[in-house]
Amino acid sequence: MNALTKPIRVVFNTREKGYKSKTWLASGAIFTLMAGDAVRYSIGWWGWGFLLGALVFGFVALMVRNRSEVVLSEVPWPLWALLGYMVLSSIWSAYAAVTVLASILQIATTGFGFFLAALFSWRHLLRIFANVIRFILATSFLMEFIAAAILHGPIAPIFKNYQGDVPPAPAFYWVQGNLFNGDRIQGIVGNSNLLAYVAMIGFVVFAIEFAIIGTKRWVNLLSILAAVSAILLAKSAGIGFAMAAIAVSAVVSIAAEGKDRDTRHRYYRVAWASAGTVAILVLVFRAEVFEFFGKSPDMTGRSGIWKLVLGLIQERPWLGWGWTSHWVPGVKPFEGLVVINHVPYYQAHNAYLDVYLQLGIIGALLFATLLLLTFIKLWRLAVRHTVALYLWPVLVFVGLVVWSLTESRMLIEIGWVLLSLFAIKVNEPEEKLEPRGRSSKRLRIYSFTKFFKPAQKPEK
């Protein structure tokens, strides 16, 4: 591996004023938003609310102290418009008070994304997300091991999310102790789909860490192994499709780097045509595909949920029912709308349908515009920069967008933070980015593979 292709280790200035305070605050908030159920099961809803309030106070204070208002110019107009439209929807909302509260929470969540974009570099953000996810995965496997090998049964939340002494369904347990019996595991996050979601993000950031020598090699390899294991044991079909999209995006973006415009666009046409073909095949052979993932052809009741949501959309197609992000228990028309195996569900299990349901066609168009503009800019950053560091935002974004076809988590907690972070930070000036290298990512990968090949014996 020669000097042109060898990655350069970037050392953080940990003595920078405020480095530790902002890093610990960001890490704590990301954990709280990424493993929200773990926090609520541990300290209850009131404790969770108090913690969120303290975190909001902390990041606002740090932003004021660091004069972060300059980043306001980097906030894209679709994000401003969408937040404004959420607030405006309280005028015609079927649950006005809920919409006002939900809009305030959405703005606060966006504020945390603004905090991350303003005070951290892309490399520092990668390090923070990697460390938090490492902790979540490690504690998840530890908790699953305790439930399966020591307690030989499920673990209930400390603060119960159900009435009575016995949960009405297994889904109400924190973890069900399935580590060794072949069923899905839930981890510390308390939900199989969420565990797979966290592991998906972890796989991307760990792989990029490995590529840029972000931490020790053995730590990276163990982290990647943990992420892959969590994805396989959580058995989420939606994450399976998202991981496939991430893989294709990685290959295409690396192959397109440094190519002329016509060649790049030829790659893109082939990629889109292939993706469309695969989507059609999955639709036609969905029974076989979902059976492979251990799912029913309707994705475990999702088609029924979507039919109910489409029925509500038809009642208010233009303005929607009013913003609420996740559906609020006890609020019509959501209360009792979806109950499967004694478990109520409070989301459309499709972020795009949920936005259409709540904000109507205008809100859906604003949301689509925000996603499209963010993707284009993230893609350009990944393709035009030679440092592998700038791949992680677009790969995580692609995974989030594809997974959102079966889940609505992009609209709340860490999902919305990631969306707002990417939408804002991708607009930062180029002078804030790391210098471009003298060789492409493709050449570095090729050189890296040559490095591991055994030396050829000289001919006699």
For 354-392, write each residue's pLDDT tens digit: 999 999 999 999 999 999 999 999 999 999 888 899 999
- Residue 85 has what pLDDT? 98
Omega of the bond leading into 333 within 30 degrees of 0 (cis): yes
Within 10 angstroms of residue 285's Cβ, the number of other Cβ atoms is 13
2 part of a folded domain: no
458 part of a folded domain: no
Query: Does residue 16 surpass a pLDDT of 90?
Result: no
117 part of a folded domain: yes
For 83-112, write each residue's pLDDT tens digit: 999 999 999 999 999 999 999 999 999 999
- Residue 11 has what pLDDT? 61
- Residue 145 has what pLDDT? 97
Do 301 and 340 meet the contact criterion of CB atoms below 8 Å apart?
Answer: yes
Mean predicted confidence (pLDDT) in 185-203:
96
- Residue 281 has what pLDDT? 77
For 58-71, write each residue's pLDDT tens digit: 999 999 888 777 78
User: Alpha-carbon distance 74 to 49, whole Å?
Assistant: 30
Percent helix / strand / coil, the chain, rounded to 5: 65, 0, 30
370 part of a folded domain: yes
User: Phi first, then psi: what are they for 336, rounded to 5°?
Assistant: 75, 5
Query: Does residue 459 surpass a pLDDT of 50?
Result: no
- Residue 79 has what pLDDT? 97
Task: Please indicate whether residue 437 or residue 78 has the higher confidence score (pLDDT).
Answer: 78
CA dihedral (187, 188, 192, 194) positive or negative: negative
7 part of a folded domain: no
User: Alpha-carbon distance 34 to 236, whole Å?
Assistant: 17
What's the Cα-to-Cα distance from 318 to each of 92, 229, 348, 367, 434, rounded to whole Å? 11, 44, 18, 14, 44
Do 109 and 413 meet the contact criterion of CB atoms below 8 Å apart?
Answer: yes
CA dihedral (266, 270, 275, 280) positive or negative: positive
Lowest mean pLDDT among 15-19, 134-138, 173-177: 15-19
Instruction: Give the total number of structural domains in the chain.
Output: 1
Query: Does residue 458 surpass a pLDDT of 50?
Result: no
User: Phi first, then psi: what are they for 343, rounded to 5°?
Assistant: -115, 115
User: Alpha-carbon distance 191 to 290, whole Å?
Assistant: 19
457 part of a folded domain: no
pTM: 0.92
User: Alpha-carbon distance 297 to 311, whole Å?
Assistant: 21
460 part of a folded domain: no
User: Alpha-carbon distance 371 to 107, whole Å?
Assistant: 18
pLDDT level of residue 287 (50, 70, 90 thresholds): low
Burial class from Cβ neighbours inside 10 Å (0-12, 13-18, 19+) for residue 212 reads buried
Mean predicted confidence (pLDDT) in 24-33:
96
Give Cα 229 to chain centroid, integer Å: 18
Mean predicted confidence (pLDDT) in 179-194:
94
Residue 259's domain spans which residues? 19-448
Provide the H-helix boundaries in 385-435: 392-403, 413-425
For 133-172, write each residue's pLDDT tens digit: 999 999 999 999 999 999 999 999 999 877 777 888 888 8
Mean predicted confidence (pLDDT) in 436-458:
57
Task: Please indicate whether residue 450 or residue 147 has the higher confidence score (pLDDT).
Answer: 147
Query: Does residue 422 surpass a pLDDT of 80?
Result: yes
Beta strands 343-344 and 339-340 are: antiparallel
For 117-129, write each residue's pLDDT tens digit: 999 999 999 999 9
8 part of a folded domain: no
User: Alpha-carbon distance 458 to 98, whole Å?
Assistant: 75
